[in-house]
Structure formats: structure tokens, C-alpha cells
Amino acid sequence: MNNYSIEQYDDMKTKVLKYVLYKKRTEAEVKRKFSNVDDTLLDDIINYLKEEKYIDDLNYIKKAINEFININTLSIKEIKYKLQSKGLDYNLIEKYIDDNIAELLEYEKKCVRKIYFKKIDKSDDNDVINFLLKKGYKMDNIKAVLEEDVK
């Protein structure tokens, strides 16, 4: 037995749907935004939206990573952090990254190359390498780029 009426459900579903349609959202973002709503009511609405694919965290991860790849120079570590800050499940993020690791490692090398050649004029090798390490780039990728392009 639900502790809400059909009218309450429809009214809240409309509000949540508008929020989700305005910009793709994660389940955690929806829960955060509507934290003042009865848990049972919100869970039922979220389940409906998941069934109808309005909320799909795995698809969100895929689209977000593709966006990051096209726009930014981020390490895999930074990508993970950005996705976790959206409230996405750590295991879901890890699974997607593991399933696409070859592509992501290539992307990371490309980013290392881009940052390295942008910064090397103003800094020495060690400063650039330390900068890349602080940004979360893997030493293996940094070394690979240096061996391919610099030496």
C-alpha cells in the first residue's frame, strides 16, 4: 500500500520528468534534487523513469566520457572523479572503463602528448612530468609518449 495518491504521483512524476528532460541526470542527482519528497513516492517515480530509459546511469557514463574525450584533456583518474561527483556508482564507472580501457588509454596518451608539447616551452621535463602526475596521468603513459615523441 502506497502512502500517496495517484494525483501526487502524477504531479511529482511531471516535475521529476521535466528536471530529467531539461538535461540528462543521474539517479543520484534526481534523489538529491528531490530529497524532500517521500522516499517511497520518489523511488517509484525513479523506477518508472529507469524502465522508460529516462534515467540510465550506464548510458550517462558513456555519453559523459564521450563528451570529455571530445572537449577536454583529462586523465582517466579525473574522468572517474567527475563521474563519481555526479553520484554514479563506483562499480558501474569501473566496469565501463575496464570494458573500454584500450580506447581510454589511447585518449590519455593523446592528452599527455598535447599537454606536454603545450607546456614544455615554458618548463623543463621534470616540471611537466610532475604536472601530469598530479593531474592523475599514469606514469606508463607519460613514459610511452616521451619515448615515442621526444627522444
Query: 64 and 46 in one domain?
Result: no
Number of folded domains that form the chain: 2
| 34: containing domain | 6-55
Instruction: Give domain status of residue 1, yes or no.
Output: no
Let me know if residue 72 belongs to a domain.
yes
Three-state SS at 17: helix
Which amino acid is located at 40 in the chain? Answer: T
Q: List, for the chain, all residue ranges whose pLDDT scores fall below the cut of 70.
A: 1, 149-151
pLDDT tens figures, 99-132:
999 999 999 999 999 998 888 888 888 899 999 9
> Same structural domain for residues 78 and 136?
yes
- Quickly count helices (H) and strands (E) in the chain: 9, 0
Q: Is residue 32 part of a domain?
A: yes
% of the chain at pLDDT higher than 90 = 77
Do 82 and 51 share a domain, yes or no?
no
Rounded Cα distance between 21 and 128, Å, is 42
Phi/psi at 4 (nearest 5 deg)? -150, 160
d(C-alpha 50, C-alpha 88), whole Å? 14
User: Do the domain assignments include residue 94?
Assistant: yes
Q: Which of 19, 18, 106, 92 lies closest to 59, judged by CA?
A: 92
The C-alpha cell at 63 is 555519453
Same domain, 65 and 137: yes
